[in-house]
Amino acid sequence: MNPRDLIHSLDEKACLALLSDWVKHKSYSETEGEKALVHHVVGQLKEIGLQAEAQAFDEGRRANAIGRWKGTGGGKSLLFNGHLDTNPATEGWTVDPWGGVVDEEFIYGIGVSNMKAGDAAYYCAVKTLIDAGVKLKGDVILTFVVGELQGGVGTVAAIRNGIRADYFVNSEPTDLQAVTMHACAFSFVIELTGNTRHLSKREQAVDAIMAACDLIPRLNDMTFSGAPSPEHESINRVHVGVVHGALGKELHEWRAPQVADYCKLKGSGRYAPGQTQEGALADMQRELAALEQRFPGLKTLIRIEKKEGHQSMPAFEVAKDARIVRSINAAYEAVRGEKQPTGAIKPPGFFGTDAGHLYAEAGMEGIVCGPGGRYNTMPDERVEIRDFVDMVRIYMLTILDICELA
C-alpha cells in the first residue's frame, strides 16, 4: 500500500476513543490532574514504540510529555506542539465536561477544543503510520506541554532542555486554517485621577469615570504605529476588560453623591511581528495625553502588568511560501479538495500561542494549524468530528512529506 493511501483507511473510532480518554482527565492548569495526564500520555507514547519521558521543570512541580519517533537518518525533522492543561469548566454545560461525550457530529468536553483535539490528532497520525509499518528518514518529535495558560512556560522549558526540529506544527485551534502570523500579547493597567466635588458642584469636578467612558472606545479602536503591512496591522487590537471607578484609590463606594476622582482600567493589547511593546505603549500614552487635554486637570498613568510565574508570549510569523506552509497547504488540499485558508487569519491571529516561543526563542520555522476553534472556551465546548479526523489525515500527509519515507 502507498502510505498516502492510509488516510482513506483511518480508524476514526479509535482516534475518537483516544481523544475521549484524554478529555476524561480533569487536567486543570497547575493541578495534580495536569500531571496525571502527562504521565498517562507518556505511557501511551511508550506503548506505540516512541522514546518518551515526562520532562520535569519548575523545580519538579510540573512536567511535559515528550515523545520521539526516531527516523533512519537523512531526512528533515518535524515537531508537533500542543498543551494538555485546560481552563476550568464554567456554568451552563448541558453535558458532562469530563464525560468524553461523542454524538453524530461533535465530541464534547472542557479543553477538547483548547486543545486536546489537536494533541490527539498528531498522536493518532503518528500511531496510524507506525501501526502500518511506515519508516521515515527524519525524526518526529511530539511535545505535549503544560503551562501554555501561564504564557507558555512549558514550551520554554522544553526548548531550554534542548527540544528542537527543522520544522514545527503548533496545533492550537484554528478550524484547520493555516495561521502564518499571530500577535504578541501584553497586559496593561491605566489609572485616571480626577478631582472630586459633590454632585451639586460637579461642573467644578474632574470626573474620572466620565474620562474612562471617553477613553475606552478610543482604546478599543486603536491600532499601533509601525506595522510592516496592512496584514500585520490587522492583528493589532486593544481591549479594556476591567473598570473600577469610585472615590480614591481605595475605591470607596458609599458616597455615590460625589463625583468619582479615581478610575482604574485593566486590559490587553496585541501587536504584530515588526512592532514592539515600547511602540504600542507610546501610542497609548499619546492617547492618554489627548485625554488630559479633553479633561483639564486629569492625571493619567499607564503601566505594563506582569504576573509572577507567567511568561510573555512573543508574536509569530512565517512566510506563506515557506516549506512547512506549502507542505500543510498541500496536505489540506489532498484531504479536503480545496485550497487551505492561509495567513494572519482572525480570530486566531489575535491569539497568543507557543508557536511564538518556538519561532522567537528556538528559531524554528513552523505553522499554527489545528482542529477546533469556533466552539472554543464556552459551555458545551466541542469539536466537529469531521474536523478532528481530517486533521489527523492532514498531519499524516505532512509528516510523510517533511520527514520522507525511508
Q: Whole-angstrom Cα distance, residue 221 to residue 217?
A: 6
Strand order across the beta sheet in which 262-271 lies: 237-246, 262-271, 184-193, 299-305
Find all residues with CB under 8 Å of 119, minimum gap 6, and list them. 22, 82, 83, 84, 144, 171
Residue count (the chain): 406
Kindly state the average pLDDT of the residues 96-105.
97
According to the model, what pLDDT value does residue 1 have? Answer: 60
Domains of the chain: 3-181+315-403 (3.40.630.10), 185-305 (3.30.70.360)
| 238-250: burial string, b at 16+ Cβ within 10 Å, e else | bebeeeebbbeee
Crossing angle between the packed helical segments 208-220 and 277-294, to the nearest 10 degrees: 140
Q: Which long-range contacts (CB under 8 A, 24 or more apart) does 229-235 make?
A: 231/181, 231/343, 231/344, 232/181, 232/272, 232/273, 232/274, 232/275, 232/344, 233/272, 234/344, 234/346, 234/349, 235/181, 235/182, 235/183, 235/270, 235/272, 235/344, 235/346, 235/349, 235/350
Q: What are phi and psi of 330, to 5 degrees?
A: -65, -40
Residue-averaged pLDDT of the chain: 96
pLDDT tens for 322-351 read 999 999 999 999 999 999 999 999 999 999
Question: Binning pLDDT at 50, 70 and 90, where does residue 311 land?
Answer: confident
Let me know: does 167 contact 324? Beta carbons within 8 Å: yes
The phi and psi torsions of 179 (rounded to 5 degrees) equal -90, 115
- Secondary structure in 3-state letters for 254-291: CCCCECCCEEEEEEEEEECCCCCHHHHHHHHHHHHHHH
* Mean per-residue pLDDT, 88-110: 96
> Measured between alpha carbons, how far is 392 from 122 in angstroms, rounded to an integer?
6
Q: Which residues of 125-148 are buried (b: 16+ CB within 10 A; e: fewer)?
A: bbbbbbeeebebbbbbbbbbbbbb
Q: Is the pLDDT reported for residue 310 higher than 80?
A: no
Strand partners, 382: 108
The string of pLDDT tens digits covering residues 181-201 is 999 999 999 999 999 999 999
pLDDT per position as a tens digit, 49-87? 999 999 999 999 999 999 999 999 999 999 999 999 999
pLDDT of residue 308: 75
Whether the CB-CB separation of 190 and 302 falls below 8 Å is answered with yes
Q: Is the pTM of the predicted complex or chain greater than 0.85?
A: yes
Share of the chain above pLDDT 90, in %: 95
Mean pLDDT of 138-147: 98
pLDDT at 122 over 70: yes
Cell of 325: 506552509
Report CA Rg, the chain: 24
Determine the straight-line distance between the first and last CA of the chain, rounded to whole angstroms.
15
